Structure 1
Amino acid sequence: MKSLDIEITYDFICPWCWIGHSNLKHALKDVAPDLTPKLSYSPYELNSSMPRAGASRKEYRTAKFGSWARSQAMDADVTSAGRKVGLEFNYDRIEVTPNTRLAHRLMAYAQRAGDEGKTEALFDAIFSAYFSRGENIGTLEVLVRLAAAVGFEAQDVREFLESAQGEAEVVARELEAQSQGVSAVPSVRIGHSRIGGAQPPAIFAATLRAESEAGAVETDPLS
């Protein structure tokens, strides 16, 4: 088996990050079956100055894009793109644009736990909660429930998020991403190659093959 490091830099309010992740997963299924990806997730807050309680999405998007009509047109484009890859976007259900720091800290907790399956499931669950069901993923109760649903211990998650744990880690990883030239998300590093944007599966697949052939590490399945 060959091991290949893949780092996904993202924010939970970025719909293209969810779409890009889905495209990457499709590419991983199609590429050589002897490839073992080692996924990691790096935070990037698009709205770092967002109040911790979040803001009215309609007011926020109207101010950001000049009109609510323009925001709705952009939402329709995303909804169409998501539908093509099997993702459900229901923007009519979203009332709050959240602060995503707490959700990023939850991902830090998940990665510390070391269960890649649960971590990936949580990653998708947070996106789905926000974009499909309109839940406020900036709140403790929503995040604890999502984490418990994919197999994490609810009380451990609650204690982690109620403390300051993971805060410095999130900040450090965001600064590291910026120092590496990341200025927008999604940004996916596959081996030594970096791909920006929600590229189609074929682009990810080509890079996966190239990096696998160039320098993926052989691993012992019995080790």
Structure 2
Amino acid sequence: MPLTISLFSDVICPWCFIGKRRLERALDQLGLRESTAIEWLPFELNPTMPPDGMERAIYRARKFGAERSAQLDAQMAEIGRQEGIDFAFERMTRTPSTRRAHMLIAAAAQHGRADPVVDALFRAYFEEGRDVGDFDVLREIGVAAGLKRDVVDDALGNEQLQQLVEAVERQAAEMQVAGVPFFIIDRKWAVSGAQPAEQWVAALKTA
């Protein structure tokens, strides 16, 4: 039977990018990649972030302290290299609001293009240092991932999509999803965190 994985994540969460790569590697090893449907669900790490975001250095210093922030970036860069991800933290100048990015993902899902849009958002933010809260950047990503320009433009200002994103995030809170990535497999069992591919292989074989 086809496998369905519902995945709560945020496009500025490095562990979500790593978790995606690890899951995909496990699915490839099991020959399940093509038959697995992944449902991308919104989880804003910073739901009160201003629409234009804020300077990353200020945000990180407030959250972790400048020295600790640098240490965390270095550690994550090393983990990323092991997964084939080239984290470019030195290029990142802003921490964006991800509300519009999640609206774009929701629209992409309606057209069967959610996965390429999510992958492009991760790569744009983490490997290219782009501001994925910026309207023009999101439009470029959406169109490059196969969406029509008018679909993208509508999605980024669509009140119904915004309400959908907010409703799903309320559901996550009701389910007590406290962090991401958070995976729900066939709506039966859950996995929290970016588990190694080997653990995914073992779990999926058992299931």
Report the TM-score, using the length of structure 1 for normalisation.
0.89
Distance between the aligned counterparts of 2:39 and 2:149, measured in 1?
22
- Aligned residue in 1 for 2:14: 15
- Aligned residue in 1 for 2:91: 93
SS of the aligned residue for 2:2 comes to strand
SS of the aligned residue for 2:19 comes to helix
Distance between the aligned counterparts of 2:33 and 2:166, measured in 1?
35
2:71 to 70, 73, 80: 73
Shift in Å at residue 68 of structure 1? 1.0
Distance between the aligned counterparts of 1:33 and 1:196, measured in 2?
20
SS of the aligned residue for 1:42 comes to strand
- Aligned residue in 2 for 1:164: 159
Distance between the aligned counterparts of 2:4 and 2:204, measured in 1?
10
Distance between the aligned counterparts of 2:31 and 2:59, measured in 1?
44
* Number of residue pairs matched by the alignment: 206
Shift in Å at residue 33 of structure 1? 4.8
SS of the aligned residue for 1:151 comes to coil
Shift in Å at residue 155 of structure 1? 2.1
- Aligned residue in 2 for 1:183: 178
Shift in Å at residue 100 of structure 1? 0.3
- 2:79 partner amino acid: A
- Aligned residue in 2 for 1:221: none
SS of the aligned residue for 1:182 comes to coil
Distance between the aligned counterparts of 1:81 and 1:62, measured in 2?
22
Is the 1:129–1:135 Cα contact (8 Å) retained in structure 2? yes
**Stretch of structure 1 that moved more, 195-204 or 32-41:** 32-41
- 2:104 partner amino acid: L
1:153–1:84 distance in 2 versus 1, CA, 3 Å = same
| Residues 1:83 and 2:81 are matched in the alignment | yes
Is the 1:53–1:99 Cα contact (8 Å) retained in structure 2? yes
Superposition pairs of residues 1-223 of structure 1, within 5 angstroms? 2-33=1-32, 36-65=35-64, 67-113=65-111, 115=112, 118-191=113-186, 192-211=188-207
Shift in Å at residue 131 of structure 1? 0.7
Residues 135-190 of structure 1: CA deviation (Å, up to 9, x unaligned):
11001110110011111111221122123231111011111112122110011112
Structure 1: segments with no counterpart, 5+ residues: 212-223
Distance between the aligned counterparts of 1:37 and 1:98, measured in 2?
30
- Larger-Rg structure: 1
Structure 2: segments with no counterpart, 5+ residues: none
1:96–1:72 distance in 2 versus 1, CA, 3 Å = same
Distance between the aligned counterparts of 2:13 and 2:29, measured in 1?
25
Distance between the aligned counterparts of 2:105 and 2:16, measured in 1?
15
Shift in Å at residue 13 of structure 1? 1.2
Residues 28-69 of structure 1: CA deviation (Å, up to 9, x unaligned):
00114597211101111110111111011001100111x211
Is the 1:193–1:207 Cα contact (8 Å) retained in structure 2? no
1:33–1:126 distance in 2 versus 1, CA, 3 Å = closer
SS of the aligned residue for 1:148 comes to helix
